[in-house]
Structure 1
Amino acid sequence: MTTTYAIVDIETTGTDPKVDRMIQFGCVLVENQKIVGRFSTDINPSQMISRQIQSLTQISNRQVQKAPYFEDIAQTIYNLLQDTVFVAHNIHFDYHFLNHELVRCGMPRLTIAGIDTVELAQIFLPTESSYRLNDLAESLGIIHENPHQAASDAEVTADLFLRIEELAKALPLVTIEKIATLSSVTSHQTSDYIKQLALEMKQNPTELATDLMVVNQIALKKKEVTLFEQPLYEITYPKTKKQKQRLFQERLSYRPQQGKLMNLIHKHVTNEDEKDLLIEASTGMGKTMGYLLPLSYLATPEKPVVISTASILLQQQLIEEDIPKLNQLLDYKIQATVIKGKGNYIDLQRFKATLDAPIVQKQYGLYQMRLLVWLTQTETGDFGELNLTSLNHLLFEEIKHRGVDYLSKKQAFYQEDFLVHLNQKMTQSNFLIVNHAFLAQETRRETPYLPNSQILMIDEAHHLPEVMEQVTNQFFDTEVFQRQLRHLGEDGQLFDTLRAMLSQEAEILQLFELYQTILSEISEIQEEIFAEWLLPFQVKEELFVTRDDLNLSNQGKKNLKKLYLYYEESLLLQQQIAAACFRHNEQWLAREKIVYGKALIFFEELSAQASFVKQWFTSWEPRYVHKLYIYGSQNTVRMQLIDLEAAILPNTAWYPRYEKILYVGGTLKVATFTNYFAQRLGIPDAKLKVIPPPYHYDEQVRLFVLNEQVAIKELSIYEYVDFIVRTLSPILEQQKESTLVLFTSHDILQKVYYRMQMSFLENGREIIAQGIGGSREKLLKRFRHRKGAVLFGADSFWQGVDLPGDTLQLLIVTRLPFDHPQRPMIEAKSRYLDEQGDNYFKKEALPKASLKLRQGLGRLIRSEEDRGVMVVLDSRLIHSSYGQKLQQSLPKDLAIHERSVAEMLPEIAQFFKRDYPKEEIEADSPQHSVIIEPSKGVKSGE
Structure 2
Amino acid sequence: MPENPTVTDLLTTAVAALGGHERAGQVQMAEAVATAMESGQHLLVQAGTGTGKSLAYLVPSLLHQDRVVVATATLALQHQLVERDLPRLVEALAADPAAGAVDTSYAVLKGRSNYACLHRIREGVPDDQGTLEVELPTGSLGKKVLELRDWAEEQAEQGGSGERDNAPRHTDREWRQVSVNHRECLGAAKCPFGQECFAERAKEKAHRSHLIVTNHSLLAIDAIEGVPMIPDYDVVVIDEAHELTARVTQAATDELWAAEVERAARRSQRHVEGDQADDLADAADALREAINEARPGRFDTIPQDLGDALLLVRDAARACVSAYPKTTEDADAAMQQAKGAVQEVFATAERMAADLDSDVLWLSEGTERMPPRLCVAPLQVWGPMRDKLLTDKTVVFTSATLKLGGDFRTVATSLGLKPEDEEMPWLGLDVGSPFDYGRQGILYVARHLPPPGRDGLGPAVLDEIVELVDASEGRTLGLFSSRRAAEAAAETVRERLPHLTTLAQGDAQLPELAAQFVSDPHTCLFGTLSLWQGLDVPGDTCQLVLIDRIPFPRPDDPLLSARQQAADRAGGNGFMQVAATHAALLLAQGAGRLIRTGTDRGVVAVLDPRLATARYGGFLKASLPPMWTTTDPAVVRQALTRLAAT
Give TM-score scaled by structure 1 length: 0.60
Deviations 1:363-404 (A, max 9, x none): 2134313541464356101122125452213x7335546577
Q: Is the 8 A contact 1:285 1:863 kept in 2?
A: no
Count of matched residue pairs? 615
**Out of 440, 446, 453, which is 1:706 matched to?**
446
Q: Quick check: 1:733 aligned with 2:470?
A: yes
Give the number of the structure whose alpha-carbon radius of gyration is greater.
1
TM alignment of 1:810-825, pairs within 5 A: 810-825=544-559
Q: Does 1:519 align with 2:292?
A: no
The match for 1:751 is: 488
Distance 1:280 1:420 in 2: 36
Structure 2: which amino acid aligns with 1:236?
A: P
Q: How does 1:74-89 map to 2 (within 5 A)?
A: none
Does the CA contact (< 8 Å) of 1:724 and 1:752 recur in 2? Answer: no
1:638 Cα deviation after fit: 4.2
1:386 maps to 167
Alpha-carbon offset, residue 408 of structure 1: 5.8
Deviations 1:11-37 (A, max 9, x none): xxxxxxxxxxxxxxxxxxxxxxxxxxx
CA distance in 1, matches of 2:610, 2:213: 42
Deviation at 1:348, TM superposition (A): 1.9
1:296 counterpart residue number: 62
Query: What amino acid is the match of 1:312?
Result: L
Structure 2 residue matching 1:712: 3-state secondary structure:
coil
Residue 644 of structure 1 aligns with an amino acid whose one-letter code is: L
Cα deviation digits, residues 63-120 of structure 1 (max 9, x gap): xxxxxxxxxxxxxxxxxxxxxxxxxxxxxxxxxxxxxxxxxxxxxxxxxxxxxxxxxx
**2:602 is the counterpart of 1:868:** yes
CA RMSD of aligned residues (A): 3.4
Task: Tell me how far apart the structure 2 counterparts of residues 360 and 816 of structure 1 sit (CA, whole Å).
Answer: 46
Tell me, in whole angstroms, the C-alpha distance in 2 between the residues paired with 1:370 and 1:640.
31
Question: Partners in 2 of 1:367 and 1:551 — Cα distance?
Answer: 44
Aligned twin of 2:97? none
Q: In the alignment, is residue 809 of structure 1 matched against residue 543 of structure 2? A: yes
Does the Cα contact within 8 Å between 2:479 and 2:546 map onto a contact in 1?
A: yes
Deviations 1:894-939 (A, max 9, x none): 3211123x5532232224554xxxxxxxxxxxxxxxxxxxxxxxxx
2:136–2:146 Cα contact (<8 Å) kept: no
For residues 94-113 of structure 1, what are the structure 2 equivalents within 5 Å?
none
Check conservation: 1:539, 1:630, Cα contact below 8 A: no
Is contact 2:70-2:236 (8 Å) kept?
Answer: yes
CA distance in structure 2 between the aligned counterparts of 1:519 and 1:609, rounded to whole angstroms: 10
Deviation at 1:321, TM superposition (A): 0.8
Tell me what 1:265 maps to.
33
2:572 partner amino acid: D
Q: Residues 297 and 629 (structure 1 numbering): CA distance in 2 closer, same or farther, change over 3 Å?
A: closer
Residue in structure 2 matched with residue 336 of structure 1 by the alignment: 106
Counterpart CA distance in 2 for 1:795 and 1:410 is 41
Alignment partners' CA distance in 2, 1:354 and 1:560: 32
What CA distance in whole angstroms lies between the structure 1 residues aligned with 2:23 and 2:6? Answer: 17
Contact 1:616 1:626 in 2 (8 A): yes
Q: Does 1:315 align with 2:93?
A: no
Deviations 1:432-490 (A, max 9, x none): 1111122223367674111221110100100111112222232222x32465368x3xx
Q: Secondary structure of the equivalent of 2:442?
A: strand
Q: Contact 1:721/1:748 (CA < 8 Å) preserved in 2? A: no
What's the CA shift string for 1:612-641, capped at 9, x where partnerless?
2222222432x322335799xxxx984332
Q: Which residue of 2 aligns with 1:896?
A: 629
Identity of aligned residues (%): 22
Mapping of 1:507-906 within 5 angstroms? Answer: 511-520=272-281, 522-523=283-284, 539-542=293-296, 544-546=298-300, 564-574=314-324, 576=325, 579=327, 583=330, 585=332, 596-597=333-334, 599-621=335-357, 623-628=358-363, 638-650=373-385, 653-658=388-393, 660-671=394-405, 675-684=409-418, 685=421, 686-713=426-453, 716-717=455-456, 720-757=457-494, 760=497, 762-763=498-499, 765-774=500-509, 776-892=510-626, 894-900=627-633, 902-906=634-638
Distance 1:410 1:866, change over 3 A: closer
1:866 deviates by 2.0
SS in 2 for 1:368: helix
Asked if the contact 1:743–1:792 (Cα under 8 Å) also holds between the matched residues in 2, the reply is yes
State the TM-score, normalized to the length of structure 2.
Answer: 0.85
Q: Which runs of 5+ in 2 are unaligned?
A: 95-99, 126-132
Conserved in 2, the CA contact under 8 Å of 1:346 and 1:401? no
- Structure-2 separation of matches of 1:435 and 1:563: 33
Displacement of 1:516 after TM fit? 1.9
**Is contact 1:235–1:297 with CA below 8 Å preserved after alignment?**
no
Q: For residues 698 and 746 of structure 1, what CA distance do their matches in structure 2 show?
A: 32
Q: Deviations over 1:337-358 (max 9, x none)?
A: 1111111211223312359943
Contact 2:440 2:602 (C-alpha < 8 Å) held by counterparts: yes
**How far apart are residue 245 of structure 1 and its match?**
3.6
Distance 2:178 2:491 in 1: 40
The alignment partner of 1:376 has SS state of helix
| CA distance in 1: counterparts of 2:40 and 2:12, whole angstroms | 29
Describe the SS at the equivalent of 1:291.
helix
Equivalent position of 2:146 in the other structure: 368
CA distance in 2, matches of 1:758, 1:803: 26
Counterparts of residues 150-299 of structure 1 (less than 5 Å): 235-239=4-8, 244-245=11-12, 248-249=15-16, 251-270=19-38, 272-274=39-41, 276-298=42-64
Highest RCO, 1 vs 2 (Cα 8 Å, sep ≥ 6): 2
**Residue 263 of structure 2 is aligned with which of 484, 488, 503?**
484
Q: 1:373 to 1:467 in 2, by over 3 A?
A: closer
Secondary structure at the aligned position of 2:527 is classed as strand
> Quick one: structure 1 residues 520 and 651, their matched pair in 2 at CA, closer, same or farther if it must change by over 3 Å?
farther
Give me the whole-angstrom Cα distance separating, in 2, the residues matched to 1:434 and 1:654. 15
Deviations 1:537-587 (A, max 9, x none): x9452354346x67799xx98x9877655433222223x26x26x6365xx
- SS of residue paired to 2:443: strand
Cα 1:434–1:629 shift into 2, 3 Å: closer
Q: Provide the C-alpha distance between the structure 1 equivalents of 2:71 and 2:386, rounded to a whole number of angstroms.
A: 18
Taking the aligned partners of 1:382 and 1:680, their CA distance within structure 2 comes to: 32
CA 1:367 to 1:237, structure 2 compared with 1: closer, same or farther past 3 Å? same
Deviations 1:820-855 (A, max 9, x none): 222222322222222222222222222332333222
Q: Contact 1:443–1:652 at 8 Å: present in 2 too? A: no
Letter in 1 for 2:631: E
Confirm or deny: 8 A CA contact 1:706 1:899 kept in the other structure.
yes
Displacement of 1:857 in angstroms is 2.3
> Aligned pair in 2 of structure 1 residues 520, 870: CA closer, same or farther (>3 Å)?
closer
Distance change >3 Å, CA 786–CA 376, structure 1 → 2: farther
1:792 Cα deviation from its structure 2 partner: 1.1
* Aligned residue type for 1:705: V
Distance 1:483 1:609, change over 3 A: closer
Equivalent of residue 451 in structure 1, options 215, 231, 252: 231
Displacement of 1:874 after TM fit? Answer: 1.7
Amino acid across the alignment from 2:73 = A
Contact 1:753 1:767 in 2 (8 A): yes
Go from structure 1 to structure 2 and tell me whether the alpha carbon gap of 1:806 and 1:601 turns closer, same or farther (over 3 Å shift).
farther
Q: Is the 8 A contact 2:224 2:384 kept in 1?
A: no
Q: Given the superposition, is the C-alpha separation of residues 766 and 691 from structure 1 closer, same or farther in structure 2, using an over 3 Å criterion? A: same
Amino acid at match of 1:318: L
Tell me the SS of whatever aligns to 1:799: helix
Task: Note the C-alpha offset of 1:525.
Answer: 6.7
Q: Distance in 1 between matches of 2:494 and 2:143?
A: 38
Task: Give 1:406's aligned amino acid.
Answer: G
Give the equivalent residue in structure 2 for 1:206: none
Tell me the CA shift for residue 754 of structure 1.
Answer: 3.6
**Conservation of the 8 A alpha-carbon contact between 1:542 and 1:629:** yes
CA contact (8 A) 1:345 1:401 kept: no
- 1:140-169 CA-to-partner distances (Å, cap 9, x unmatched) read xxxxxxxxxxxxxxxxxxxxxxxxxxxxxx
